[in-house]
Structure 1
């Protein structure tokens, strides 16, 4: 069983428990459920193109930064022209929580991506209820039919969809209703990073679809290379979060990027 299989097995149990504790109607009655969402598609093309991530830990890196508050980090990200914010809500493997989104939602005005392993309809109502604007659909743990159904549900709830792929086979998960396609530079099954592989996949996408390079961007040269190859957005977390002050690191990075 690889790490992705372990995560999904745990996620199924987590969802089952959550449904018992918080009924669907309670999610619909929550503070942010009626909130009008922001568009990441629009924000990507009007600001830096960077979706800056708040992430405490990961299965491949262990603890990255578990001492700084989400609000402090994401407020700085917004101040220095991030196009959007990605927040991990998986607890067991990434140290995240719903509270990380809830505590910042009223304080920032750019789109928030709920980054988690979305495998059940219930999670989309959770995302809407916690104030997310975008959800991540990971092709590696979904069928093309599930991607289609979850995309329709997301749009019914006013959420945009970022579809994440890593292989040519996963290109089959794409459908015309998808808002953005993320190409993960890191293989979720063995965590190896290959930027050229991502570029090859991007070149097979429909021309008018916005593409986001995800993960494994560790240097300015990586960023520039992917930008030159035509990526519209860049999801970056570890590069900033591994520093004592992620906001300052983000500011430093942005000062070297032509916006």
Structure 2
């Protein structure tokens, strides 16, 4: 685990300990299990791809550790609506909302606001280190959770996936190299994200996805993450048979994120 990733995960452990004091585990679990009707995250991506379009998970992100504040005028509901509409023809399949406070200037309310303003399924983008967070994600309104292989061992990933699926949430498992990919493929989720950003150096190389694609079984839905900034990048991926994308920064810097999405994927 890289220094920055270890630092983030260590902070998460502290955050979860504090959260459990405010809302005990049993209470959070009961609340999560009482929630009904998630939106079909995987189905929304597959539906776009079935139409011949890219399945885009559009990110709602104010800041990042590497870039600082990306979007000062940050309104999650407006951004989410812009993504849902796109240009009227091309639009997002799903949303990804950052809820980490310390490193990405996110918060749980951003997820709630984004989901309430659209009909799109929503991924909680955060760093999961404890099963408590899976229940917490459902209470926030998340339809899908992110499991980062570099943060978790196999037993943790399997337990968190089982909890998520029991709550009718989808799981996006994120990897960066071949070893992490083989671990991720032990899970049941069809959603496998390949992060083109090296979390040790923060350098980005979109060839990372293409190099690992050959090892991803056909029944999995491969999502390329990070570094998709131009139509050439999109073409490179789609020519390689990769049709699902998680994109954030490219849209967050645009005045109308949904129009920027449509232009990138037209």
Same fold (TM over 0.5): yes
Q: CA shift at 1:179, angstroms?
A: 2.7
Judging changes above 3 Å, is the alpha-carbon distance between structure 1 residues 32 and 96 closer, same or farther for their aligned structure 2 residues? farther
Q: Distance in 2 between matches of 1:31 and 1:175?
A: 26
Which one of 169, 177, 200 corresponds to residue 167 of structure 1? 177
Q: CA shift at 1:107, angstroms?
A: 2.4
Q: CA shift at 1:190, angstroms?
A: 0.9
SS at match of 1:239: helix
TM-score (norm 1): 0.93
Q: Distance in 2 between matches of 1:140 and 1:33?
A: 31
Q: Does 1:208 align with 2:209?
A: no
Residue matched to 1:62: 68
Residue matched to 2:198: 187
Q: Does 1:75 align with 2:81?
A: yes
Residue matched to 2:51: none
Superposed counterparts of 1:146-165, under 5 Å: 146-165=156-175
Residue matched to 1:16: 17
User: What value does the CA root-mean-square deviation take over the aligned residues?
Assistant: 1.8
Alpha carbons 2:234, 2:264 under 8 Å: kept: no
Which one of 100, 108, 111 corresponds to residue 110 of structure 2? 100
Alpha carbons 1:32, 1:130 under 8 Å: kept: no
Aligned residues: 255
Q: Distance in 1 between matches of 2:216 and 2:103?
A: 31
Judging changes above 3 Å, is the alpha-carbon distance between structure 1 residues 105 and 33 closer, same or farther for their aligned structure 2 residues? farther
Q: Does 1:2 align with 2:27?
A: no
Residue matched to 1:40: 41
Q: Distance in 1 between matches of 2:163 and 2:189?
A: 12
**Structure 2 residue runs without a partner (length 5+):** 49-53
Q: Distance in 2 between matches of 1:139 and 1:30?
A: 27
Q: Distance in 2 between matches of 1:251 and 1:233?
A: 14
Q: Distance in 1 between matches of 2:79 and 2:162?
A: 32
Q: Distance in 2 between matches of 1:31 and 1:20?
A: 17
Q: Distance in 2 between matches of 1:20 and 1:244?
A: 41
Judging changes above 3 Å, is the alpha-carbon distance between structure 1 residues 232 and 22 closer, same or farther for their aligned structure 2 residues? same
SS at match of 1:105: helix
Deviations 1:97-151 (CA, angstroms, capped at 9, x unpaired): 0000112323211110000001101100111001110000000111122111111
Residue matched to 1:27: 28
Deviations 1:1-56 (CA, angstroms, capped at 9, x unpaired): 61111101111111111111123354356599512111221111222411000001
Deviations 1:146-184 (CA, angstroms, capped at 9, x unpaired): 111111111011111101000111023222512300000
Alpha carbons 2:115, 2:121 under 8 Å: kept: no
Alpha carbons 2:230, 2:264 under 8 Å: kept: no
SS at match of 1:85: strand
